[in-house]
Amino acid sequence: MEEFSRLFDALTPGENVLVLYDSEHPPYLLFLALINYAIKKETPVIIDDIIDSLHIYRTNIKLLGLDVSPLDNIPVLKIGGSMNTGHVVARLSLDEDVDIYISRYSSVFGSLIGGEQVPLNIVLGIDKLFAFYFNDWRAIRRLTTIPGEFAEGGHRTAVYFANQRILETFPRLSAMFKDFFTTILVMGGNLKGCRVNVVRSPKIEMMGEEVTLTRA
């Protein structure tokens, strides 16, 4: 946990972080460790739950025999889907027009933040948005710019969890999407433990670092 704390202590408030994983290396341990880290630091947290992603995370974490109670009181912005997981404070439907969706999201998210501390915004299922708008290339191109747009002003530290294989189905836009992130972490390992590799960081000393998390 000490190495993990050092990894996230190195983040500058307002950063965009991308966590890439695949189905063989699920990010559940990292997600839960990040939640517990924020609670310990008394950092406000908002979870973006895109198309029931939080339900999947919570279910699998519970099946691992780990404590899911820290998730119950964290504000959740529910985007699409039907499963009520966590403390849902706002809901957004997915609109066929991506610009309408982004405008609504900006307004709702802005109403959830405030105070002196920069909140930690954990975004689950951004890859599902790409899949949702699969047949609309204009929408896909627009989605790639979301991390950059909402990073302006440093009003939040955002950590996006994304399935790398889904992003790779859009190879030309995947690289553009990654350009909006200051830190990129790649997952390895298995359900019993995971490796987190730092492949991009604004801090030279963090480049190439590997952090290992294991089940308690």
Distance CA 159, CA 69 (A): 21
- How far does Cα 204 stand from its chain's mean position? 23
Residue range 60-75: mean pLDDT, rounded: 94
The per-residue pLDDT for range 179-206, each reduced to its tens digit, is: 999 999 999 866 567 889 999 999 888 8
Total structural domains in the chain? 1
pLDDT score recorded for residue 102:
87
Return the half-sphere exposure (C-beta side, CA atoms, 13 A cut-off) of residue 194: 24
Note the pLDDT tens digit of each residue in 79-135.
999 899 999 999 998 877 888 888 888 888 888 887 778 889 999 999 998 888 888
User: Whole domain around residue 37: which residue ranges?
Assistant: 2-214
pLDDT digits (tens, 9 = 90+) for 33-59: 999 999 999 999 999 999 999 999 999
The Cα 84–Cα 63 span in angstroms is 18
Please, what is the Cα angle at 86 between 196 and 14, to 5 degrees?
50
- The residues, ordered by sequence, that sit 6+ positions from 121 with a Cβ below 8 Å of its Cβ are 45, 46, 47, 48, 109, 156, 157, 158, 159
CATH code, domain carrying 77: 3.40.50.11570
Q: How many CB atoms lie within 10 A of CB 193?
A: 12
In terms of pLDDT, which residue wins out, 90 or 152? 90
What distance in Å separates the CA atoms of residue 18 and residue 183, rounded to the nearest whole number? 6
**CB contact at 8 A, 164 and 20:** yes
DSSP labels, 14-63: T-EEEEEE-TTS--HHHHHHHHHHHHHTT--EEEEEETTHHHHHHHHHHH
How confident is the model at residue 1, as a pLDDT? 57
How many percent of the chain have pLDDT more than 70?
Answer: 93
